[in-house]
A and B are shown apart, each in its own frame.
Chain A
């Protein structure tokens, strides 16, 4: 395993860099108005947490002990899984809602066409 200057593993640096990149992207998306203030806050907190855990893995261990999970890495995996499930669920609901909106649109077009035909 590659330890850089004897205090960090390569994976830690890559993770931190990726999280930094994601933070930058999140900021860009917020500036463009693609995401709201609440999403900005959630994503910034998430990526900052990733940076903290990547640079100081023991910080996760502290929380793990507090919550009774045991190992820090386990806690991270559990939380990541829960988050993924939640995001997947939210996405499914959003897609379903979008499908309904497409239906409303389709209906409007159909009825408008019919209306202009009969005029």
Chain B
């Protein structure tokens, strides 16, 4: 079985090398890094670290980079695709458990959640206010009640990646993926992953932009 890890990266020269090295150490050698036209040396570092690097000639956003990575992984013959972040927030040690879980349960998708165990140090404002609000909004947008509505760690089978074509270039791709999983009746489950906070993540402005993108997408054929 071929497993490919897809990492969208924008200006991650400081972390991307360690992220790839971490994955390699855990035995994951099929790593695609989609450089979303970074202005720093992300592309050089990623290549040196041994990843398969694909470069966007224009900055198109994380959702767009993920889809490019999915397409390349599919072309490389991936049976399973893992979405992983390039900023060291995830633990490469969680990949195996999540992939095993996908196969044992015969699922089409596994979604990472930082809320299912207490390994993640979540800032209190985020834990008590932002996460609960985004859970409710996510429920309204996607009809899925998740413990962690915004998590970039996902494991998808080939069939799922072929079905779910991400059209949201920005951060709304997360809700889009969950919505399409539900819509296509794909079996999915959450899986505990550790998240390390390097920065605060998306603020309220980011959330508003996600909503705006989502509403606009209704009018685009």
* Per-residue A-contact encoding for B6-44, CB less than 8 Å = 1, 0 else: 000000000000000000000000000010000000000
Interface size class of B (residues with CB under 8 A): 20 to 34
> Complex: how many Å from CA A88 to CA B54?
36
Are A93 and B71 within 8 A (Cβ)?
Answer: no
Which A-chain residue is minimally distant from B35 (CB atoms)?
A110
Residues of A within 8 A of B34 (CB): 110
Are B64 and A107 within 8 A (Cβ)?
Answer: yes
Which of A41-49, A53-61, A72-80, A97-105 interfaces with chain B? A97-105
Interface of B is mostly: mixed
For the complex, is B219 an interface residue (Cβ under 8 Å from A)?
Answer: yes
Are A114 and B64 within 8 A (Cβ)?
Answer: no
* Per-residue B-contact encoding for A75-118, CB less than 8 Å = 1, 0 else: 00000000000000000110011011011001101110110000
Are B57 and A109 within 8 A (Cβ)?
Answer: yes
> Complex: how many Å from CA A103 to CA B55?
12
27 contacts between A and B (CB under 8 A): A93-B216, A93-B220, A96-B216, A97-B220, A99-B169, A102-B58, A103-B61, A103-B169, A106-B57, A106-B58, A106-B60, A106-B64, A106-B68, A107-B56, A107-B60, A107-B67, A107-B71, A110-B34, A110-B54, A110-B55, A110-B56, A110-B57, A110-B68, A111-B54, A111-B68, A111-B72, A111-B75
Residues of B within 8 A of A110 (CB): 34, 54-57, 68
Residues of A within 8 A of B72 (CB): 111, 114
Shortest CB distance B185–A (Å): 25
Residues of B within 8 A of A111 (CB): 54, 68, 71-72, 75
For the complex, is B167 an interface residue (Cβ under 8 Å from A)?
Answer: yes
* Per-residue A-contact encoding for B40-76, CB less than 8 Å = 1, 0 else: 0000000000001011111011001001100110010
Which of B60, B67, B219, B220 has a CB less than 8 Å from the CB of A102?
Answer: B60
In B156-174, the 8 Å CB interface with A consists of 167, 169
Residues of A within 8 A of B55 (CB): 110, 113
Residues of A within 8 A of B52 (CB): 114
Residues of B within 8 A of A99 (CB): 169
